[in-house]
Amino acid sequence: RHDVLTTIVVFGASGDLAKKKTYPALFHLFQQGLLPKRTSIIGYARTQMERPNFLERVTSYFKEDPESPDVQRFLGICAYVSGKYDVDADFQRLRGEIDSNEQAMGKRDSAEERVHIYYLALPPSVFVTVGDQVRRNVYDGTCTNRVVIEKPFGHDLESSRVLSREIGELFDEDEIYRIDHYLGKEMVKNILALRFANVFYEAVWNRHYISNVQITFKEPFGTEGRGGYFDEFGIIRDVMQNHLLQVLSIVAMHQPKSLRSEDIRDRKTEVLRRILPIQLEDTLLGQYVGTRDGSKPGYKDDDTVPKDSMTATFAQCVLHVDNDRWRGVPWVMKAGKALDEAKMTIRIQFRDMPNALFPKLARNELVLQVSPKESVYIKTIVKEPGLSTNLAMSELDLSYHKRYQDLKIPDAYATLILDVLNGDHSNFVRSDELDEAWRIFTPLLHQIESEQVVPLPYEYGSRGPKGVDEFATERAGYKLSAG
Ligand code: BG6
């Protein structure tokens, strides 16, 4: 793999995603020696910029000093082309640049193994325009082509299908890599190993032993500065329909036949098909307001948000997986902006012990903490140490930062770009998965919009709208942990 002549084109190279995620991830891979020896990276965007300005922009989010030898060597493989997104001649120039870079890297002949990666760090409104230009003016049928795109993939089931069809007319499904960056997170990637490399989890991984599952995403900051984007989407489309549902599908799926990407994606899609559309009665919506002391603004205080916006910045909903493994087990998803902490957890709560030997203390739980600090712990009952015969709640605790010295967990984007370089689709969303994800959420989203459901207010920095714990406990029919 290391010898493959590789070209990576980053469209939208002067934008935020490229600056904050794509280029730092590419640099990380370069520094680790994980980019093929002959790689060239071409940034493409509309902004007219001299190369030094571009390079300065590109390095602005690097942790490394821009003058360091590693950064300088990396910049040596970076080029910039400015052009419009709908002008043939501009894309023909890009093709020229790719060809001349390949020659400069020592292209042998047309039979040599070559890869072209088109990373669209762009708003979806131009995906098809750019894809079409690439297909007509840049695409080289003599090499392997991979196209990387990122959400939002549509707005609902129908618009997502239109987008999928249009992109599908330009590229084959196995050329397309739909990023959901949660699939590149260490703890999310760990779910497969945890579930299928240990004998004891799979035995209890069903409705007979598991009472409920809670998938929680909390951010301590609001949408300041992104209000324009966010108001069009809301929290359900922003993180639930994609990141949280992807996590759910890996926790809920049956064992794949193998670790090959299509086997994994088949299993995920299969379980998504069994999820019933979410009901409005099983959903609680919230929108944050400013703090009483005025130190933090409310959602609608943002100039880019309409004053009468009813967009939810918080949502909690209960999902049901209608198959023999999970029937009757509530899956509680909760996500919110401007809450009291930064945390993403998957909490699997087990049933009560079916004997009366000991008084009930609390339930066992397996918790996977995705962020901020990766950890896995099992809430376990033990005898209180010493002469006492009482029970105590304790934890079997695998905190990665304590267990692994010099722990350096790469950013999700670095692992995902490496997967693209390796042609591994396991951690990318297939079009049928995407379709199912929208099927589950679309009726709810349409109902919220048509009935103009008003989100409940909650104060910036709080735990969410009043009654959030009671709501989940009532809908799920069990006492949940307050997370
Ligand atoms: C993005 C959402 O997809 O994920 C953001 O658009 C959210 O609103 C972000 O903040 C969270 O990602 P992470 O990696 O910071 O947990």
**Spacing, Cα 396 to ligand 1 middle (Å):** 29
Looking at ligand 1, which residue's alpha carbon is closest to its atom 11?
239
Which of ligand 1's atoms lies nearest the C-alpha of 151?
Answer: 3
Residue 419: per-residue pLDDT: 98
**Spacing, Cα 414 to ligand 1 middle (Å):** 16
pTM of the entire structure? 0.96
CB 209 within 8 A of CB 350: yes
Sort strands 365-371 and 176-179 into parallel, antiparallel or unpaired: unpaired
Distances (CA, A) of 197 to 36, 192, 209, 217, 253: 31, 8, 19, 26, 15
Tokens 């919230």 -> residue = 286
pLDDT tens track for 4-43: 999 999 999 999 999 999 999 999 999 999 999 999 999 9
Provide the terminal-to-terminal Cα distance of the chain, rounded to the nearest Å. 44
pLDDT per residue of the chain (483 residues) written in tens, 0 to 9: 678 999 999 999 999 999 999 999 999 999 999 999 999 999 999 999 888 899 999 999 999 998 999 999 999 999 999 999 999 999 999 999 999 999 999 888 878 899 999 999 999 899 999 999 999 999 999 999 999 999 999 999 999 999 999 999 999 999 999 999 999 999 999 999 999 999 999 999 999 999 999 999 999 999 988 878 899 999 999 999 999 999 999 999 999 999 999 999 999 999 999 999 999 999 999 999 999 999 999 999 999 999 999 999 999 999 999 999 999 999 999 999 999 999 999 999 999 998 889 988 889 999 999 999 999 999 999 999 999 999 999 999 999 999 998 888 999 999 999 999 999 999 999 999 999 999 999 999 999 999 999 999 999 999 999 999 899 888 877 666 655
Give the SS3 label for residue 445.
Answer: helix
Which residues are tagged catalytic? 243
**Count of Cβ atoms closer than 10 Å to residue 241 Cβ:** 26
If one residue of 181, 314, 345, 429 were mutated to test the ligand 1 pocket, choosing by the most ligand atoms within 8 A of its CB, it would be: 181
Tokens 């995705």 -> residue = 370
Which of ligand 1's atoms lies nearest the C-alpha of 371?
Answer: 16
C-alpha to C-alpha distance for 177 and 246, rounded to whole angstroms:
15
DSSP structure string for 164-199: HHHHHHHS-GGGEEEE-GGGGSHHHHHHHHHHHS-H
Residue 474: per-residue pLDDT: 87
Residues 6+ apart with CB under 8 A from 433: 249, 265, 268, 269, 272
With a 6 Å cutoff on the Cβ, whether 238 touches ligand 1 is yes
C-alpha to C-alpha distance for 318 and 455, rounded to whole angstroms:
17
Looking at ligand 1, which residue's alpha carbon is closest to its atom 4?
239
Which DSSP state fits 261? H
CB 288 within 8 A of CB 219: no
Residue 112: per-residue pLDDT: 87
Helix then strand count (H, E) for the chain reads 16, 15
pLDDT tens track for 153-198: 999 999 999 999 999 999 999 999 999 999 999 999 999 999 999 9
Residue 482: per-residue pLDDT: 56
CB 434 within 8 A of CB 160: yes
Residue 407: per-residue pLDDT: 86
**Count of Cβ atoms closer than 10 Å to residue 101 Cβ:** 19
Instruction: Provide ipTM, 2 decimals.
Output: 0.97
C-alpha to C-alpha distance for 403 and 107, rounded to whole angstroms:
46
Looking at ligand 1, which residue's alpha carbon is closest to its atom 8?
238
Looking at ligand 1, which residue's alpha carbon is closest to its atom 10?
219
Which strands make up the sheet holding 365-371, listed edge to edge?
A: 391-399, 375-383, 365-371, 343-350, 210-218, 330-336, 314-320, 283-289, 456-459
Residue 224: per-residue pLDDT: 86
Sort strands 375-383 and 391-399 into parallel, antiparallel or unpaired: antiparallel
C-alpha to C-alpha distance for 330 and 478, rounded to whole angstroms:
9
Which strands make up the sheet holding 176-179, listed edge to edge?
A: 78-82, 39-45, 5-11, 114-120, 144-150, 176-179
Residue 228: per-residue pLDDT: 83
Residue 480: per-residue pLDDT: 66
Give the SS3 label for residue 73.
Answer: helix
With a 6 Å cutoff on the Cβ, whether 180 touches ligand 1 is no
Residue 483: per-residue pLDDT: 53
C-alpha to C-alpha distance for 334 and 216, rounded to whole angstroms:
5
C-alpha to C-alpha distance for 152 and 237, rounded to whole angstroms:
8
Residues 6+ apart with CB under 8 A from 19: 57, 58, 60, 61
Question: Residue 384's Cα: distance from chain center in Å?
Answer: 41
With a 6 Å cutoff on the Cβ, whether 188 touches ligand 1 is no
